[in-house]
Homo-oligomer: A and B are copies of this chain.
C-alpha cells in the first residue's frame, strides 16, 4: 500500500469548522439532536460527499460516510454531539481525523475508508445511545421510550431529523474493523509529554447505589455511644474500602464516591440516612469482582457493627472490552514510526463507542493528549502537533 499523506491544514480547518456549530465562549454546546447538532451533521454529510463517500443517516441519527466498494473496508470515527457544555475535541476529533484519512486515502489511491459519527454518545438519552442501537445492544423501539432530563423522548428527538434519515441500518458486514481516535480526557499522556496512547482495553465499570439507614436524632441530646449516624457510617466505609483496595488495585484502577445525599441534611440533626454511589473501573473483570466483594463485605460488616440497615440497589456492570490484537499491533507500529518513544499502551478509563462496536468486529482505539487532563469543560484542548500526529498514526495503521 502507498502511504496516506494527510493534509494538516485541512484537518485543523475542518475541526475549527465543526467547532463553529453550537460554539459558545471557548467551548461547544451541541447536545444530540439539537439544532446545532443536526446542522453539524448536515455539514459533515456534505464534506463526506466531497470526499467521495456516500452519506447515510440511519434511523438513530448515526451518520455513515460509505465508500463505493464491494469488499469490506475499515470504519473509523467517533461522535459529533457534545456534552451539554463541552469542549471542542471530545468526539469531534475522531470524526474529523477519520474524514481526513478517508479523503487523503482516496486522493493517494489508498484503501477505501468509511467514516462514522455516532449519535448521542454523551448520553442525553443514556450513554452511547447511537452505537448501542446500531450494534443491537439497544432495540430502536426501546430507545424511543427513553426520555431526557426535560421529559422529551428519543422518539420525539429523532423526529427532528427524520427527513434526513433512511429507513434501514448500514450492514456491519460492510466493515472489516473499527478504529476510533479520541482525546484521552485524562492527564497521563500530557504529564509524560507523549503524543499517542494505544488503547489495550476499555475499562469495565461497576457501580452500586447504597443506602445506610440509621436513626435520625437531636444532635444535642443524643450521646455519641447510642447514635446510629448514617454519615459517620459512610465516612468509615470510605476509609475502610480505601485501605482494603490497596492490595488489589493497579495504578490505573479508579474508584469514586461522587454522589452523597443525607437525610434530613441539617446541621443540628444526627443524619438518619445516607444515600451514595460507589463506582469503580478497571480493565480486568476479575479485579472488578474482587473490588465488589470488598465493597459488599465492608458495608455489611460496618453496618452490622453500627446498627445501620444496608440497602444496595441499581447495580451497573459494563464489562471491560479488550481491543483487537491485530488492529492494536498496527496502531503500535504506526505510533512508533510517527512518534518514536513518545507513545504508550494504556487502558481507556472512559467508555467509548468502540466498546459497543467491538461486539460486531475487530475494534481498536488511539488517544491524543488532553492538556492538563481537562475534558467535559470549555477549556479542553490538545496541541496542534498532537492532533496532526494522531491522524497520521490512524492513516499509517489503515494503510498498512
Interface residues of A (CB under 8 A from B): 184-188, 191, 203, 205, 207, 217-226, 229, 231-232, 234-236, 238-239, 242, 249, 251-262, 265-271, 277, 279, 281, 348-351, 373, 375-376
Closest A-B pairs by Cβ, 5 of them: A186-B221, A235-B238, A220-B349, A267-B277, A219-B256
A247 nearest CB across to chain B (Å): 14
Q: How far is the CA of A234 from the CA of B260 in the complex (A)?
A: 12
Q: A221-B185, A223-B187, A375-B218 are in contact. Are A270 and B252 (CB under 8 A)?
A: no
Contacts A203-B220, A219-B254, A256-B269 given; 14 further ones with Cβ under 8 A? A191-B226, A217-B373, A218-B349, A218-B350, A219-B258, A220-B351, A221-B350, A226-B373, A232-B238, A258-B262, A258-B265, A258-B268, A259-B262, A259-B265
A5 nearest CB across to chain B (Å): 32
Q: How far is the CA of A351 from the CA of B279 in the complex (A)?
A: 41
A288 nearest CB across to chain B (Å): 13
Q: Which residues of B contact A257 (CB under 8 A)?
A: 231-232, 235, 271
Q: A220-B205, A222-B349, A350-B218 are in contact. Are A260 and B258 (CB under 8 A)?
A: no
Q: A235-B239, A239-B236 are in contact. Are A349 and B221 (CB under 8 A)?
A: yes
Q: Which residues of B contact A348 (CB under 8 A)?
A: 220-221
Q: How far is the CA of A203 from the CA of B220 in the complex (A)?
A: 8
Q: How far is the CA of A277 from the CA of B266 in the complex (A)?
A: 9
Q: Which residues of B contact A277 (CB under 8 A)?
A: 267
Whether A267 lies near B259 (C-beta < 8 A) is yes
Q: How far is the CA of A340 from the CA of B232 in the complex (A)?
A: 39
Q: Which residues of B contact A217 (CB under 8 A)?
A: 373
Q: Which residues of B contact A222 (CB under 8 A)?
A: 186-187, 254, 349, 373
Q: How far is the CA of A255 from the CA of B229 in the complex (A)?
A: 11
Chain B CB within 10 A, most for which of A222, A265, A281, A349: A222
**Can you report 30 residue pairs joining A to B where beta carbons are below 8 Å apart?**
A185-B218, A185-B220, A186-B218, A187-B222, A187-B226, A207-B267, A218-B376, A219-B279, A220-B254, A220-B348, A220-B351, A221-B350, A222-B254, A222-B349, A222-B373, A223-B251, A224-B251, A224-B253, A226-B373, A231-B258, A232-B238, A234-B235, A235-B257, A256-B267, A256-B269, A258-B267, A258-B269, A259-B265, A259-B267, A261-B265
A224 nearest CB across to chain B (Å): 6
Whether B258 lies near A271 (C-beta < 8 A) is yes
Q: A231-B258, A235-B234, A260-B262 are in contact. Are A220 and B270 (CB under 8 A)?
A: no
